[in-house]
Structure 1
Amino acid sequence: MNRVLRALLAAACLLALVPGCSAHPPAPLVVLGPWTGAEGEAFEAALERLDDGTGRTYTYEGTRSLRETLVSQLEADDPPDVAILNSIGELTEYARRDKLKPLAEATAERAYPPWAPTLLVDGRRRTYWVPLKVDLKSLVWSRKDASDKAPIWCVGLASQATSGWPGTDWIEDILLHQAGPAVYTQWATSRLTWRAPAVRGAWTTWAQLLGVRSAASVERSLTTSYEGTSGPNGPRGLLHSPGFRCTHEHQSAFIRYVYTGTDIALEPSARFLDGPAEYRDTYEVAGDMAAVFSDNPAAQELVQRLSSPAGRKRWREEAAPAVRPLFPNRTDPAPTHPTERHIDTLLTRSARTLCFDASDVMPPELRDAFHRAVLEFFRDPASRRLDALLGQLETVRTQTNENPPEGHTFRPPEEICASPAG
């Protein structure tokens, strides 16, 4: 049901034109988010079970084109009440443009670092979003029959409108484990040049790890989805895809939905990335954060309920094991599935430091340029080509450094690494 029709029905209820309507029904709240398919269905089911005693209803709009959809709605002055985004860079942009509402104090207490850094706006430091679900990125999946052999890396870089991010994940993880959280933070928050030796070294290390590839192999990786090829039951995963004679895959925890068998092993990525031992227990993470775009107090209440222990428990109960969400606080009940439990232990108990996905911290223009540069570098990893790409990214960095809007003072987040919450 579209937003106009919902508004007409609400108006009809107010005029008592629809039988059974309350004289004063609460307006439906619209939630825009990134989940479709089984993930979207589970979240929508959890929303439907949110009963606050008012009869309020919620409408979930799930889309893979989240940024484009939200930008279009904002331009039409018809934003959702709540939007769920995985990009701190985009959220920062909206806060800077006065599109976000600071969160209520009760919700801000769940703004666990590093997923929800505070922003300094007009002299006040406030919280503008809170993580609903989180993800662990510093992982390597491998075939158990080859886990002790020299890795042959699977690479699939295609992903609809955002192709390239599996490669940026590689470079971010390498930089984090080789140079440490301080350098990583400076780079992710645009306070370090792309020509810095540590940054350049992460790109060359990635090329060395992947090794020499044939033209056919390169083209296959550029055109194959990160999910691998499709089979009768959906995506197979790269480790099970025909044409990919590989043994190891660097991929985030979410990919567990294609590796549900017992033939795949999982371990932290640190031992593969040639970094100092002091950074071995440092992990790159990502997340989906809820932000309020509406003046409606009910939108604030909704985010508070979704981020509460009861809300997280309800969501987990609605989700199938393969898409069950992970949460940021170690006080949440541990998952029961072995793979989920292993990931949760790394995320909330074994980790010393968690650092948010660097490309998702960057301004959207810089992030998108990073994605494109990775695709070009994968096709041609020559040293001269890399120098040109880093120069282009440095130009974008200097052009997109935050400038406060007229009449406002604003400072983007600076701390994107933290110890596990709880």
Structure 2
Amino acid sequence: MNRSMRRFLLRPLRVLLAGCLLALVPGCTSNPRDPLVVLGPWTGKEGEAFEAALAELDDGTGRRYTYEGTRSLRETLVSQLEAGDPPDVAILNSIGELTEYARRDKLVPLAEESAERAYAPWSPTLLVDSRRRTYWVPLKVDLKSLVWSKEGASSADPKWCVGMASQATSGWPGTDWVEDILLHQAGPDVYTRWATGRLDWRAPAVERAWTTWARLLGKRSPASVEHSLTTSFEGATGPGGQPRGLLGSPGFDCTHEHQSAFIRYVYAGKDVRVEPSARYLDGRPEERDTFEVSGDMAAVFSDDPAAQVLVERLSSPAGREIWRAEADPAVRPLFPDPAGLPPTTFTDPNEQEIHSLLTSGARTLCFDASDVMAPGLRDAFHRAVLEFFRDPSRRHLASLLGQLETVRGEANGESGGDRTFRPPEDICASPGG
């Protein structure tokens, strides 16, 4: 799509901002206003593509946007909220955190135009102050129930790559394993009860997911365990500072990797293929078309009406097309509903496979369980998988699950205290809602 066509598509939205938003902003003058601040998780090429899309949205609107990308998103946002200077729009991948902010009156409910794009399971409505409303909308999404493998590697006896390090959130590659196994072994209903705090962590289905993970990984030497615990999920750094990916990193004698769709930026152009994870997880045949997903959701933290307009534009077909056109194929965003977008020409067969699975190959989509949980429980889950990876004995697992159950009970107010967290109810849905 050329620039003139993009501007034509966005012209109806620009009208909303014409004349300094006189209809929406009392006292607006011709003086330049501070730019809207957008805080998000994308850095590197992903951040550059999103910034370029924002620059296109700047054109002719009279209002400018500033993007702040960080890998330490939660810590940055918490410090800004504590300082009384939150961003106008923040893009988070945790429904648990978003729910917490909504119930603490930190979020502004979305305007109707954006709320209509609150696709399930990424954007469940919340009951806050006796009113059910929508507080965030997915901008981009990822498919998580995937396995990547070296071309020609046998699936009969996979050797698994595992890199658990990820700055402040180390451990999530392990929680992804446990979640995906539980989803395929126990099904969406049990998965939902567990993710939303209504199932004991010591339940047989939960314990089986952990022990299945240990069995699939097989026996590992102490040196191999430490190597995995201290190696980034991106693998070693190659020429030009680019990550090699675990399948191409020295020190990993492995053929398969369990990882989300986003990792395609590492393997683009390499002899690596992707397929659904179900066949590897010792799950039920009826759940082979069930997939775990994640997403990056936009929420409004500001009373400035222009923040609502920006979210509406970013989530619109025109805004998505601009973003997709600005991104390199390896980091091209996936969207929750491709309706309204022209057909995509795929140059990477892995990207085409992921797009096909997300849009037509899935029967049920369930949101990432740890990103649904209360932030404190999620963090405890991350730490527990790191400990379990080092010592997967039954006795140690029983202790870890008991500790996680204590954290769950405290969040639910089951130990006599106040309930500190109320998660959304619906985190699984058929594609398209």
After TM superposition, give the deviation of residue 275 of structure 1 in Å.
1.0
Distance 2:421 2:111 in 1: 20
Output the TM-score relative to the length of structure 1: 0.91
1:349 aligns with 2:360: yes
Segments of structure 1 that go 5 or more residues without pairing to the other structure are 1-21, 404-408
Distance 1:242 1:170 in 2: 23
Distance 2:404 2:343 in 1: 41
Q: Which runs of 4+ in 1 moved over 4 A?
A: none
SS where residue 230 of structure 1 aligns? coil
**Same amino acid, percent of matched pairs:** 78
Residue by residue, what CA displacement relative to the aligned partner does 1:246-267 show, whole Å, maximum 9, x if unpaired?
0100000000011113411110
Distance 2:154 2:327 in 1: 30
Name 1:415's counterpart in structure 2. 426
Segments of structure 2 that go 5 or more residues without pairing to the other structure are 1-28, 415-419
Structure 1's 60 and 137: CA in aligned 2 closer, same or farther, altered over 3 A? Answer: same
Residue by residue, what CA displacement relative to the aligned partner does 1:278-304 show, whole Å, maximum 9, x if unpaired?
100000000000000000000000000
1:19-418 alignment to 2 at 5 Å? 23-51=30-58, 53-233=60-240, 234-331=242-339, 332-337=341-346, 338-401=349-412, 412-418=423-429
Indicate conservation of the 8 Å contact 1:157/1:167, yes or no. Answer: yes
Indicate conservation of the 8 Å contact 2:273/2:350, yes or no. Answer: no
After TM superposition, give the deviation of residue 401 of structure 1 in Å.
2.4
Q: Which amino acid aligns with 1:199?
A: V
Task: Name whichever of 57-66 and 227-236 sits farther off.
Answer: 227-236
Structure 1's 334 and 245: CA in aligned 2 closer, same or farther, altered over 3 A? Answer: farther
SS where residue 212 of structure 1 aligns? coil
Distance 1:144 1:54 in 2: 48
Distance 1:27 1:123 in 2: 35
After TM superposition, give the deviation of residue 39 of structure 1 in Å.
0.7
Q: Which amino acid aligns with 1:249?
A: E
Task: Name whichever of 188-197 and 262-271 sits farther off.
Answer: 262-271
Distance 2:46 2:432 in 1: 24
Structure 1's 292 and 191: CA in aligned 2 closer, same or farther, altered over 3 A? Answer: same
Q: Which amino acid aligns with 2:391?
A: D
SS where residue 84 of structure 1 aligns? strand
Q: Which amino acid aligns with 2:313?
A: R
After TM superposition, give the deviation of residue 74 of structure 1 in Å.
0.4
Output the TM-score relative to the length of structure 2: 0.89
Structure 1's 410 and 394: CA in aligned 2 closer, same or farther, altered over 3 A? Answer: closer
Indicate conservation of the 8 Å contact 1:335/1:344, yes or no. Answer: no
Q: Root-mean-square deviation (CA), in Å?
A: 1.7
Q: Which amino acid aligns with 2:175?
A: T
Name 1:10's counterpart in structure 2. none
Indicate conservation of the 8 Å contact 2:96/2:371, yes or no. Answer: yes
Q: How many residues align?
A: 397
Task: Name whichever of 202-211 and 328-337 sits farther off.
Answer: 328-337
After TM superposition, give the deviation of residue 395 of structure 1 in Å.
0.6
After TM superposition, give the deviation of residue 52 of structure 1 in Å.
6.7
After TM superposition, give the deviation of residue 210 of structure 1 in Å.
0.3
Q: Which amino acid aligns with 1:183?
A: V
Indicate conservation of the 8 Å contact 1:229/1:237, yes or no. Answer: yes
After TM superposition, give the deviation of residue 124 of structure 1 in Å.
1.0
